[in-house]
Amino acid sequence: MSATAAATTTATHTPLPVLGRDVLVPLVTGGEVDYAALDYAASAPALQRVWDDIAAYAPYYGSVHRGAGYLSQLSTDLFENSRKEVAAFLGCRPDDQVVFTRATTDSLNLLAAALPQGTRVFVFETEHHASLLPWQQREGIEVGCLSAPRSPRQAVETLERALAAWRAEAGTDAGAALVCVTGASNVTGELWPVRELAEVAHAHGARIVLDAAQLAPHHPVDIAALDVDWVAFSGHKLYAPFGAGVLAGRADWLREARPYLAGGGASRKVARRDDGGVEVEWHTTEARHEAGSPNVIGAYAIASACKALTEAGFESLVARERRLIAKVREGLAEVDEVRVLSLFGDDAPRVGVISFVVEGWNSSHFAAALSAEYGIGVRDGLFCAHPLVRTLLGGEPGEAGECGAPEAAPGERSLNAIRVSFGAGTPDEHVERFVGAVKELVRDGAKWSYRTEDGRCVPDRG
């Protein structure tokens, strides 16, 4: 084997260093074990590289923009250079804007607030609530909710029919239209045909925004190559948990919209009018939607994570993750009582997000036992994608349910699921421990008794 091949193989099989990899947690059965963080889809651990960069900058922290002092100037440069780093990571076009927000939810709410009056929004019922709900909040915006497709091709065909029907009905009076779609499902991990959906959207004069919250940490996201109009993602899923997110893409609607927040930084000039009111001239750059003191730590953390992932090489990261996905899916397939949830089928490409149910088990009970008896952190519930999970579990998409609530006593079936998720920082041992724990719990049952407390299944400590 050549030195190059050996280096590639080593990189493929070595997780990126993350914080928390040596944290010990107690087990109800006695003793301690290093914590297996397998809930990356909710929040990924911070990369060690991100933490080190933030720690090195922290003594120089200062106000951003307009400050004359050295630390303010340095912090401003850091903030604006972070914007450029994110733009490069996303393959932004020359005229695109990169707006720093709080998270994906904030980014999509910002875009919803910027939509021209009368815009028609098309969104699949399979979306995370962050991309399903913001459009419902705007008056004067029509929302078309599309049924869950059962293949990537069906997704494209469903959107094609919906847009064609809208155009035929609206005719020359058709206004603006926006399609919102995820890049990778936060429930099944399956990849969506983003490029093909963008082609359909643009063919009908619609724009498209990509929710890349689950895609960006696992795969390269290139705005120009995918031909999407905007991309939204969160730092805390990209190994940068410091309360920041990104909305990147076309500038026109953002420039023309009212500022997302009114305040300092968003305004260029403010003057008192003779009638007692206030005259405001707003920025037309990203600052228009970044009022207040920017989260320079959060922005720099995202930029650091972007740089770290780029330098690590997505080809290597994707190859390693595919191996971990195969290991989990093969292990779960050996347990007859386990059913893995999927929209597009077993052969669909996916990221490291897998949801499943276990026959005879309440999902909250199973997740609690994984944590308390094995030191494994997973997620249970509806994953802020209620209509999708209900559909996959055979319930009604409109059926009510609360995220994380067990809805049934331990051992009884519920319309909730268990989600295991992992990424660039996951050691092989954690995946192997998870597969072994699932098999042991199904075969032998829980070693401890559990009860419901405040909507959660927890160990009964007497």
The residues annotated with a catalytic role in the active site are 384
Cβ(123)–Cβ(180) below 8 Å: yes
Cα 453 from Cα 434, distance rounded (Å): 25
Cα 435 from Cα 334, distance rounded (Å): 10
Give kind and range of the element (H or E) at residue 435: helix 428-444
The length of the chain, given as a count of residues: 462
Cα 187 from Cα 384, distance rounded (Å): 9
Distance from chain centroid for Cα 9: 28
Which pairing describes strands 120-124 and 97-101: parallel, antiparallel, or unpaired? unpaired
Cα 346 from Cα 205, distance rounded (Å): 34
DSSP class per residue in 57-105: HGGG----SS--SHHHHHHHHHHHHHHHHHHHHHT--TT-EEEEESSHH
Q: Which residues contact 359 (CB under 8 A, 6 or more apart)?
A: 336, 337, 338, 339, 413
Distance from chain centroid for Cα 75: 27
Tokens of 419: 């989600």
Place of tokens 């250079």: 81
Cα 408 from Cα 422, distance rounded (Å): 28
Neighbours of 13 (CB within 10 A): 12
Distances (CA, A) of 91 to 50, 207, 244, 249, 451: 21, 18, 19, 10, 49
DSSP class per residue in 119-146: -EEEEETTS-HHHHSGGGGSTT-EEEEE
Burial of 29 (0-12, 13-18, 19+ CB in 10 A): exposed
Tokens of 175: 């206004």
Phi, psi of 178 (to 5 degrees): -135, 135
Question: Which among 177, 232, 183 is positioned nearest to 207, based on CA atoms?
Answer: 177
Distances (CA, A) of 362 to 27, 242, 297, 415: 21, 34, 40, 9
- Which residues face 381 on adjacent strands? 417
